[in-house]
Amino acid sequence: MTVDGGGRVLRSTLILAAVLGVVTVLVGLIVMVMNPEEYGLADGRESLSLAAQPEAKKQEPKQILWSAPPDQPPPLPSITPAAPMQPSTPTRLVIKRLGIDAPVEDVGMDREGFIETPPISNKNLVGWYRHGPTAGENGPAVMLGHKDTRTGSAVFSRVGEIKYGDVIEVKRRDGTTAVFTVGGVEQVGKKVFPTQRVYGDQTNAQLHLITCGGTYNRNTGHYTDNIIVYATMTSSFRS
C-alpha cells in the first residue's frame, strides 16, 4: 500500500511538471509574438536569403584558324568590300580590341630576296612592304611585325587572337583612314608559305598582316610558322 501510494504521488508530480513546462513554453511564445523587437523578430526586418552561387566562368572558344591550299584566294568577310582609295603611305596601324596603336614605316627586300622586317630594336614598329600597294589601294597591302624580342613581347604578340569580323584601321598620310574587316586568320609553316595568296593581285583593297607563330626553335632562333591575317577594306573616313 505504501509503495502504491508513493507511485501515485510520483506520477502526479511528473504530470504536473510536464503541464507547467508546456504552459511556460506557450507563454514564452506569446511574449515573443507580442514583443517581436526584443527578440530580433521585428516585422520590418528583411528575411535572409541564400547567396546565389557565382556562375562558372565560361571559357573563351578556341580560335578557329582558316586553312586552304596555297592557290586559293584569301578569305573574305561577309561585309561588301568598299571601293579602293587613291594611293597614300600608311602611317599608323590600329587594332582597338587588342590595344594595338603602332607607327608604320616602309620596308623593302634584303640582299637575299626576302622581305625585310622592322628593326628588332623598335619592338612597337610595324613594317609596310613598300613594293606593294598602300593600305586602301586596290590589291594586298602587306604589313609585318615582330611577335616578341629577347626583352619581351612585341607589337604583334597578340595578332594570333584576331578573329573573323574584327576591325583594323590604317591611318594614311593624306589624312584618311582605311577600315578593314578580318575575313580569316591562317597559321602556316614557313616552308609552305602561301606567297601567291599573300602578295598576289586581288580585285579589291586588302590588308595582310604577317608575324611569327608555331614553335620557337632555339637552335635557329626562329619560329616554325607564320600567322597571317587577311582583311578587306569595308569603309574609310577622313581622320
Q: Check if the beta carbon of residue 186 is closer than 8 Å to that of residue 192.
A: no
Whether 76 maps to a domain, the answer reads no
Closest CA to 123 of 141, 96, 100: 100
Tell me the pTM. 0.73
C-alpha cell at 163: 578573329
Predicted pLDDT at 71: 83
Q: HSE on the CB side for 1, CA within 13 Å?
A: 0
Task: Identify whether residues 218 and 104 lie together within a single domain.
Answer: yes
- pLDDT per residue rounded down to tens, the chain (239 residues): 444 454 454 455 444 445 455 445 444 444 444 444 333 333 333 333 333 334 444 444 556 788 888 889 999 999 999 999 999 999 999 999 999 999 999 999 999 888 999 998 999 999 999 999 999 999 999 999 999 988 899 999 999 999 999 999 999 999 999 999 999 999 999 999 999 999 999 999 999 999 999 999 988 888 999 999 999 999 999 97
Whether 60 maps to a domain, the answer reads no
Task: Identify whether residues 30 and 95 lie together within a single domain.
Answer: no
Predicted pLDDT at 113: 87
Predicted pLDDT at 80: 94
Task: Identify whether residues 23 and 114 lie together within a single domain.
Answer: no
The whole-angstrom separation of Cα 156 and Cα 145 is: 5
Closest CA to 115 of 82, 92, 145, 83: 145
Q: What's the CATH code of the domain at 208?
A: 2.40.260.10
Whether 83 maps to a domain, the answer reads no
Q: How many structural domains is the chain composed of?
A: 2
Task: Identify whether residues 113 and 218 lie together within a single domain.
Answer: yes
Residue 173 domain boundaries: 90-238
| In the block, residue with C-alpha cell 597559321 | 187
Task: Identify whether residues 30 and 113 lie together within a single domain.
Answer: no
Task: Identify whether residues 126 and 217 lie together within a single domain.
Answer: yes
Task: Identify whether residues 27 and 105 lie together within a single domain.
Answer: no
Whether 4 maps to a domain, the answer reads no
> CA of 78: how far to CAs of 109, 141, 181, in Å?
34, 20, 9
Task: Identify whether residues 108 and 188 lie together within a single domain.
Answer: yes
Residues in the chain, total:
239
Query: Quick one: how many helices (H) and strands (E) in the chain?
Result: 2, 10
Task: Identify whether residues 229 and 142 lie together within a single domain.
Answer: yes
Task: Identify whether residues 111 and 31 lie together within a single domain.
Answer: no
Task: Identify whether residues 116 and 227 lie together within a single domain.
Answer: yes
C-alpha cell at 233: 577594306
Task: Identify whether residues 145 and 214 lie together within a single domain.
Answer: yes
